[in-house]
Amino acid sequence: MTGTGAPGNGHVHPTQDDPILAVLSEGVGGPVGSRAGRARWWTPLRAVVLMAAVGFALGLVQKAPCVEGTWIEGDTRYSAMCYSDLPYLYTLRGFVEETYPYTDDEQVRARYESMEYPVGISYWAWGTSLVTHWLNGSPDLERRYKMSVGELQTDPEVLAETRLYVAVNAVGLGLLTILAAALLTKVNPRRPWDAAMFALAPALALTGMVNWDLLAVALVAGALWAWARDRPVLTGVLIGLGTAAKLYPLFLLGGLLIICARQRRWRDLGVAAAGAAAAWVLTNLPAYVASPTEWRVFWSFNSDRGADLGSIWLVVSQAGDLSLSADTINDGSLLFFGVWCAGVLALGLLAPETPRLAQLGFLVVAGFLLVNKVYSPQYVLWLLPLAVLARPRWRDQLVWQAGEVLYFASVWWYLGGFLEPSRGGDSGFYWVAIIVRMACELYLVALVVRDVARPWRDPVERPVDPGSSDDMGDDEGQDTTTRSNAVAV
């Protein structure tokens, strides 16, 4: 790809396609036209990659207050909203002592809690700890064995090493962010600039370093790219690897089921599912062989947990002063999610045209998150690559992410106790923030559902009308035969 994205090179330029950017562009001469100059080196891919790098770097700057205090100043991590799981898990899960997460060693298990994450994240966390030790020099393990876990958390040598561990992960997660952004530019060759909404997302900058979720995000972006390139085996493998890191990439298979059922592509569905299963099994096998007990911790931990941060279940239990058991929440969540998936299936099969994988994947994952027992701040990343391709409109993305940013702030205020009545706050504000977040998510869901049910409203496949200032008008009469063959991408 060459050029700046002007109409002459086949790209849909956002200043011509997006109403918000079209208005903003008036301040610099108006939307890009056919006679716009070209800077051949600055392709959309390179521009989006730079945006992703800058956006992620800004997120690192936002974490600076915690880095300076090595995350041991309790109030700072919440007041500055710079909390990250990484430094705590480095010590509390034994990576500081090069502990393999899937070991049955009794001394290790008496000293450290089990790793409660899927194997993909556990491997990554352990691998980056080994890189940290290699860069820092082999630690004096005998000395560390004599210290309690509490003492390790405040030891100057360990604190310096913890900062290095976070830095190593920052490099890795930054590269994953860039990779995801690059892959998203390639999903639809006509619309590479849609990936800019991922690269510049406030949610990405704020939550990218909270945990290791970007590993699954990059694999989901890869699966979307592979499916767009008609490579079902690779699509399945990437979905399987993503599921080994986080459960939610598995839901993309539901989108593939709908697309393949409509297009009678049963073989593609079969090889994608087989690839996903094989990749998941092979990734999990080393952990299971090493310790079936430790491997099962992720599954038992999530099954046994009750209403947790950010969930509608927490609002119901706290506001209603109810005691909801884990089984009750499990059953309620499963029932709702089953009905939701049935609705997405019906929508996808009955739609006038085959929906795109990003649309179907977004709807299924959104339904899962709406009733999940916990909504950690970084879970917004699960939706981000799917959302920007499902509904590539800056206004809609910003409305959705405004709710996510409000929730991001409120969860730290809540955990820091700043909303407690004794400190002049109101814990009910946290409940409101959860409801607002869900409402903004449902707003985006409603738009995607409308685009699937009325595909002539879908901005991805609608021909660009430089004179249009709003895509929300009445355009039912538009000729739908102009949609491209990439409709199921």
Structure tokens at 187: 């999903």
CA nearest to 99, candidates 87, 86, 112, 110:
112
- Structure confidence at residue 425 as a pLDDT band (50, 70, 90): low
Instruction: Name the residue with tokens 């209603």.
Output: 320
Count Cβ neighbours within 10 Å for each residue of 336-369 and write b for 16 or more, e otherwise.
ebeebbeebbebbeebebbbbbbbbbbbbbbbbb
Amino acid at 397: Q
Query: Which residues are CB-neighbours of 416 under 8 A, at least 6 positions away?
Result: 75, 77, 78, 79
Mean pLDDT of 41-45: 86
Could you write out the DSSP letters of every residue in 175-201?
HHHHHHHHHHHTTSTT-GGGGHHHHT-
Structure tokens at 97: 């002592």
Lowest-pLDDT range of 37-41, 54-58, 289-293, 305-309: 37-41
More confident residue, 344 or 138: 344
Determine which of 137-141, 232-236, 282-286, 432-436 has the lowest per-residue pLDDT on average.
Answer: 137-141
Give φ, ψ of 444 to 5 degrees: -70, -35
Percent of the chain exceeding pLDDT 90 equals 70
Residue range 103-119: mean pLDDT, rounded: 92
Q: Does 473 have pLDDT greater than 70?
A: no
Q: What is the pLDDT of residue 35?
A: 52
DSSP string, 339-402: HHHHHHHHHHHHSSSPPPHHHHHHHHHHHHHHH-S---GGGHHHHHHHHHHHS--HHHHHHHHH
pLDDT over 70 (residue 258): yes
Dist CA 215 CA 125 (whole Å): 11
Query: What would the two tokens of residue 53 be?
Result: 């790098």
State yes or no: pLDDT of 263 exceeds 50: yes
Both structure tokens of 211: 């945990």
Asked if 204 contacts 401 with a C-beta cutoff of 8 angstroms, the reply is: no
Lowest pLDDT segment from 32-46, 51-65, 84-98: 32-46
Instruction: Summarize pLDDT for 374-397 with one digit per residue, the tens.
Output: 999 999 999 999 999 999 999 999
- pLDDT range class, residue 34, cuts 50, 70, 90: low
- Give the pLDDT mean for 253-261: 97
Residue range 222-227: mean pLDDT, rounded:
98
The span from the CA of 43 to the CA of 40, in Å, is 6
d(CA 489, CA 486): 5
CB 22 within 8 A of CB 469: yes
What pLDDT is attached to residue 321? 84
| Contact yes or no for 241/123 (Cβ under 8 A) | no
Reference 256, options 244, 274, 241; nearest CA is: 274
**Distance, CA of 169 to CA of 28 (rounded, Å):** 39
Distance, CA of 222 to CA of 357 (rounded, Å): 13
User: 92: burial class by Cβ within 10 Å (0-12, 13-18, 19+)?
Assistant: middle
CA distance 252 to 452: 16
Residue 72, pLDDT score: 74
Q: Is the pLDDT of residue 312 over 80?
A: yes
Please give the backbone phi and psi of residue 416, each rounded to the nearest 5 degrees, phi first: -80, -5
Distance CA 227, CA 214 (A): 20
Instruction: Encode pLDDT of 328-364 as tens digits.
Output: 999 999 999 999 999 999 999 999 999 999 999 999 9
Mean pLDDT, residues 110-138 = 94
Dihedral angle of Cα 128, 134, 136, 142, to the nearest 10 degrees: 100
What gap in Å lies between CA 162 and CA 100, rounded to an integer? 17
At 108, which amino acid appears? V
Q: Which two tokens stand for residue 340?
A: 């939701």
243 contacts 250 by C-beta, under 8 angstroms: yes
